[in-house]
Chains A and B, each alone.
Chain A
Amino acid sequence: MGNERYNYGFKIVAILLQMVFIIVIIVVFSLMVNLYGRSMPGFYDIGNHSFFHSSGYASKVAEEAKALTIYLQLKENLKRSKAGDDRLKQYKLRFDNGDVNFYYWYTKGDGIYTNMPKQYKNKEEAEAYAKKLGSYFCYDDASITFTGNIKRMDKTLDLNILRLFRQNSLGGGIVLAVDTSLPNADEFAEAKKIYETYIPWVEWGLFAAILAFMCFILCMIYLTLAAGRHGEDEEIRLHRIDYLPTELHVLAFFTYVTGLIAFCTKLGGKDWGISSVLVLTGTLVFLTDAVFLTLYLSTVRKLKADIFTSCSLTSFAMRTLKAGMRKKDVVKRVIIVFFGCIALELFFAWEAFVRDRFWAMMGMLILFAYPAVHFLQQAIQRKKIIEGIREIGGGKLDYKLDESEFDGDYRELAKEVNGIGDGLLNAVEESLKNERLKTELVTNVSHDIKTPLTSIINYVSLIKMEGVWNANVENYVGILEKKSQRLKQLTEDLVEVSKITSGAIMLDMQPINMVELIYQTGGEFNEIFEDVGLTVVTRLPKDPVMILADGSRLWRVVQNLYNNVAKYAMKNTRVFVELKENDGNAEFTIKDISAQGIHKSAQDLSERFVRGDESRGTEGSGLGLSIARHLTNLMGGEFEIRLDGDLFIVSITFAVINP
């Protein structure tokens, strides 16, 4: 990854650029504020270079007109009361002085007031003169119409004029005009000068400010990404300043901001020219930006290096305290914390109640809250640990507590619990491995046994084929044949049982009709049972009973149970086979009367290598019931043997599934 984009050159350029941009933004902003403060250009003046079409001019006219209406009203009142007035003289000086650019002509039927060079007798003449002056504005009270070429952006202009003609029925009107060549020096002349000086700057400045703002954002994004990175390596490089505690940064920033505000307040008292304000603003912005950028980038680096919280005085103090505490044992620690809290509480209480300090009151409250929070945290952690122990105890040995969620003694405890889980997991894995090795051994040995066994069976069979003329020998050969067959069965069962118990078999679980399976098994065993004189009494539901099982394994289970009956049930008795469906379970039961008394417990019977009557069993390997039990359990069923005197009952239970 070419991280060339993070080298020093680029960074310095980015820093300088963002400074330039922020200065441009702030300077433009302050220019706008300044001009707007002098009621100079508004935003709708963008693109308009003529002073006489600007909003500043319009509001100036409105201002003059307002003053004029007051002046005219005063004059009319004077005519009635003949009383003098200082204000009237002021206005007279303002409007009728002769060296103005603002002209008016006013009548309300009886008298005519005007400061135009000629005393025009009617409105048309005054209007013609106003038009000649360039910028004008007329109102005709007879027709109630406004005419003229001054944009009336300010509604107060209209209102003031209308107020002048209130309760008037004599007709008349008013003409206002500004000499656009502005021959005399007055407020209009001054406003025009300022407007024409700054309006092009405002336009360019606004455009530049928007552009600069976007560029500033881009620069900041780049700097944020690049902070702490350099060249090709991926690690975060920190500067010396970054190792200063976070609190110091915050303090420095607030100190600077306070100083800045104080400074600005002091400056604000004086009246400064626009250009000097701009220069001053630029300088302040440069300084502020430098301070801000340094702290901002340092914070970004700290966050990136993940030392923002750890590199703070608070964190350092906490760590030191904790490290000191951890060295002490639990009991001492509790005592220290307990007395520490009491001491602090007493101090706060003294400050709060004796000296009436509010902060001490807050401190007390916080100190009261601390034990609550502390005990809550401890309770949560304790609960988590109990949950963890329960999970592990419940057999989920790979369950892990997240140690980072605990602190103090609970972290130790969590670590130990995880250790117990690991230990158990290892032990279980070890034993599973052993079981698997055993299965492998049994399988291999059984292969080795099968080969000589094949020869034995084959040659015994050959001896029988050749014919034996001695009755004793024939008997012996018969025994050999039987025993070799039993050996064959034994090796096969041995392999199977070791596979089942080590879980090395794959199950093919399918929906199975239990009724069908019992009929099928019945068909297979029909004649075997008839041969030993057993009558099977079958009680099965008429409807299919569906369970989820591996068909051929379930057949193996049922086959083993039937085989067991065929071998050990008393001759000429009845065997009861039953399938019942209740509470969503299908229970298959087979009951028979044992030919010999059973001196084993029900549980022992399904353990490996145990038969009902050890002395008698010549057939089978004794593994039948064990295989049946394990297969049933593997498929999620329950296997139970009950003994009631000589009544031998086996039941297997599976959950019924809906077809």
Chain B
Amino acid sequence: MNRILVCDDDKEIVEAIEIYLQQEGYEVVKAYDGAQALEILGKQPVDLLIIDVMMPKLDGIRATLKIREDSSIPIIILSAKSEDSDKILGLNIGADDYLTKPFNPLELVARVKSQIRRYTKLGNAAESSRSVYQTGGLMINDDLKEVTVDDEPVKLTPIEYNILLLLMKNQGKVFSISQIYESIWNADAIGADNTVAVHIRHIREKIEINPKEPRYIKVVWGIGYKIDKA
């Protein structure tokens, strides 16, 4: 059973999160400011930390910096600050994920699961075959025609699979709609329309926890689509 430390100065939020996590079978430890969280981390082993940013005594950003000095446990920041700059700051100082308030509790649970799976499976997931492509928790095995997200298999249609394979094979490269169309359908993109965009959205709905804030398939508006290198 995995132990999760939840740290927020709002007790009701901590309790609500506790209820959701306990339903999924996690053990929850509670803290109400950054200092308490550090104290608990020093006393007992914890598998994942959910931490708020704006808290009395020690805020989430400083607490995260402190924890990262000697620990690599997954940290999910939960904050009312929704600016891009806040997210970038949180992820840069060592958080693994950033969720803005108010959040969908089910999305939080999904992200917790994803982080724990990756953290515990990270060592033995190193099958480096030519036909296996991986980024973060997303893996595609071209021999078996199999796609997994955090080790959970995902079912894709052949076209969706081919699009994902194209993007995974060329991580970091941006493909425009017509480029994708031409390489998947092997035809000229003269009659290009929404088709590719619709397929991409379907793939996103299947592999992303929150399709509106995709972690894997990124939209470069007005230019195309890409999957970032891990």
Chain A complexes with chain B: yes
- B101 near A522 with CB under 8 A, answer no
Residues A516 and B194 in contact in the complex (CB < 8 Å), given A451-B80, A454-B101, A492-B82: no
Interface membership of chain B positions 199-212, coded 1 if the CB is closer than 8 angstroms to chain A and 0 otherwise: 11100000000000
| A447: chain B residues within 8 A (beta carbon) | 54, 80-81
Cβ-based interface call for B13 (8 A): yes
Q: Please name the residue on chain A nearest to B82 by beta carbon.
A: A492
Within 8 A of B (CB), among A432-454: 446-447, 450-451, 453-454
Q: Are A454 and B197 in contact (CB under 8 A)?
A: no
- Bound-state Cα–Cα, A455 to B18, Å: 13
A520 and B102 alpha carbons, distance in the complex (Å): 27
Give the CA-CA distance A456 to B200 in the complex, in Å. Answer: 33
Known pairs A522-B193, A523-B194, A538-B193; A517 contacts B221 (CB<8 A): yes
Which chain B residues lie closer than 8 Å to A451 at the CB level?
Answer: 10, 13, 80, 101
Most buried by B among A459, A465, A516, A520: A520
Mask, A73-113, CB within 8 Å of B = 1, is 00000000000000000000000000000000000000000
B184 adjacent to chain A (CB < 8 Å): no
B39 to chain A, nearest CB (A): 24
**Nearest A residue (CB) for B53:** A447
Q: In the bound complex, what is the Cα–Cα distance between A551 and B219 (angstroms)? A: 10
Q: How far is the CA of A459 from the CA of B10 in the complex (A)?
A: 14
Query: Cβ of A446: which chain B residues have Cβ within 8 Å of it?
Result: 80
Report which A residues bind B (CB closer than 8 A): 446-447, 450-451, 453-459, 461-462, 465, 484, 488, 492, 495, 510, 512-514, 516-517, 519-524, 526-527, 538, 542, 549, 551-552, 554-555
Check if B125 is an interface residue, CB within 8 A of chain A. Answer: no
Partner of A551, one of B17, B19, B190, B222: B222
Would B13 and A454 count as touching, CB distance under 8 A?
Answer: yes
Across the interface, A519 reaches (CB within 8 A) one of B12, B104, B194, namely: B194
Please indicate the chain A residues that have their CB under 8 angstroms from the CB of B20 in the complex.
Answer: 458, 462
Which residues of chain B have C-beta atoms less than 8 A from A458's C-beta? 12-13, 16-17, 20, 102, 105
Q: B199 — which chain A residues lie within 8 A by C-beta?
A: 523
In the complex, residue of chain B having the shortest beta-carbon distance to the beta carbon of A517:
B222
With A450-B101, A526-B194: A520-B219 Cβ-Cβ less than 8 Å: yes
Task: Report the count of interface residues on B (CB-CB < 8 A).
Answer: 37
- Write out the residue numbers on chain A whose beta carbons fall within 8 Å of the beta carbon of B159: none
A514 to B223, CA, bound (A): 9
Q: Which of B16, B19, B82, B221 is in CB contact (< 8 Å) with A554?
A: B221
- From known contacts A447-B81, A551-B220, infer whether A519 and B193 are also in contact, taking CB-CB under 8 Å: yes
Q: List residues of B (174-202) whose CB comes within 8 Å of A's CBs.
A: 176-177, 190, 192-201
Q: CB-CB < 8 A to B176: which residues of A?
A: 513, 516
Residue of A453, A510, A526 near B102 (CB, 8 A) is: A453
- Majority DSSP secondary structure for residues of A touching B: helix
Q: Which residues of A contact B80 (CB under 8 A)?
A: 446-447, 450-451, 454
Whole-angstrom distance from the CB of B212 to the nearest CB of chain A?
Answer: 9
**For residue A461, which residues in chain B have a CB less than 8 angstroms away from its CB?**
104-106
The 7 A-B pairs of least Cβ separation, nearest first, read A523-B197, A512-B222, A551-B221, A458-B16, A522-B194, A517-B222, A450-B80
| Contact of B101 with A519 in the complex, beta carbons under 8 Å | no
Are B223 and A513 interface neighbours, CB within 8 A? yes
Are B222 and A549 in touch, CB under 8 angstroms?
A: yes
Given contacts A454-B101, A523-B200, contact A516 B222 (CB under 8 A): yes
Cβ-defined contact, B81 with A554, below 8 A: no
> Which residues of B have CB within 8 Å of A520?
177, 197, 219, 221-222
Q: Which residues of A contact B106 (CB under 8 A)?
A: 461
> Which chain B positions have C-beta within 8 A of A453?
101-102
B94 contacts the other chain (CB 8 A): no
Q: Which residues of B contact A554 (CB under 8 A)?
A: 221-222
A488 to B200, CA, bound (A): 27
Contact yes or no, A514 B190, CB < 8 A: no
Q: Chain A: which residue is nearest B195 at the CB level?
A: A523
Q: In the assembly, what is the distance between CA of A524 and CA of B202, in Å?
A: 9
Query: Complex: how many Å from CA A510 to CA B221?
Result: 10
Interface-centre pick from B104, B194, B220 (highest chain A CB count, 10 A)? B194
Mark interface residues in B77-94 (1 if CB within 8 Å of A CB, else 0): 000111000000000000
Distance in angstroms from B79 CB to nearest chain A CB is 9
Which B residues lie within 8 Å of A555 (CB)? 219, 221-222
What's the nearest-Cβ distance from chain B to residue A295, in Å? 70
**Chain B residues closer than 8 Å to A488, beta-carbon distance:** 102
Q: List 15 A-B contacts (CB under 8 A).
A: A450-B102, A451-B13, A455-B13, A456-B102, A457-B104, A458-B17, A462-B19, A462-B20, A488-B102, A512-B223, A516-B177, A516-B222, A520-B177, A523-B200, A555-B222
Query: Nearest-CB distance from A122 to chain B (Å)?
Result: 119
Determine how close the nearest CB of chain A comes to the CB of B106; give it in whole angstroms: 8
Cα–Cα, bound, A538→B197 (Å) = 14
* Closest-CB distance, B206 to chain A (whole angstroms): 14
B203 smallest CB distance to A (angstroms):
11
B10 and A455 within 8 A (CB): yes
| Chain B: CB-nearest residue to A525 | B194
Whole-angstrom CA separation of A489 from B20 in the bound complex: 24
- How long is the Cα–Cα vector from A455 to B13 in the complex, in angstroms? 5
B195 neighbours in A (Cβ, 8 Å): 523
Chain B residues contacting A517 (CB-CB under 8 Å) are 221-222
| Inter-chain contact A512/B221, CB cutoff 8 Å | yes
Q: Taking CB as reference atom, which chain A residue is nearest B17?
A: A458
Of B16, B102, B194, B220, the contact of A462 (CB 8 Å cutoff):
B16
Nearest CB of B to A237, in Å: 60
Contact (Cβ within 8 A) B102 A551:
no
Question: Which residue of chain B is the closest to A484 with respect to CB atoms?
Answer: B102
Residues of A within 8 A of B82 (CB): 492, 495
Known: A455-B16, A512-B221, A551-B220. A519 touches B10 (CB 8 A): no
Cα separation A414 to B224 with both chains bound (whole Å): 55
Q: Which residue of A lies closest to B178 (CB)?
A: A516
* Residues from chain B with Cβ under 8 Å of A450 in the complex: 80, 101-102
Q: Of A455, A456, A459, A526, which is within 8 A of B201 by CB?
A: A526
Q: Which of B20, B201, B220, B222 has the most CB of A within 10 A?
A: B222
Instruction: Write out the residue numbers on chain A whose beta carbons fall within 8 Å of the beta carbon of B219.
Output: 520, 555
Task: Give B33 Cβ to nearest chain A Cβ, in Å.
Answer: 15
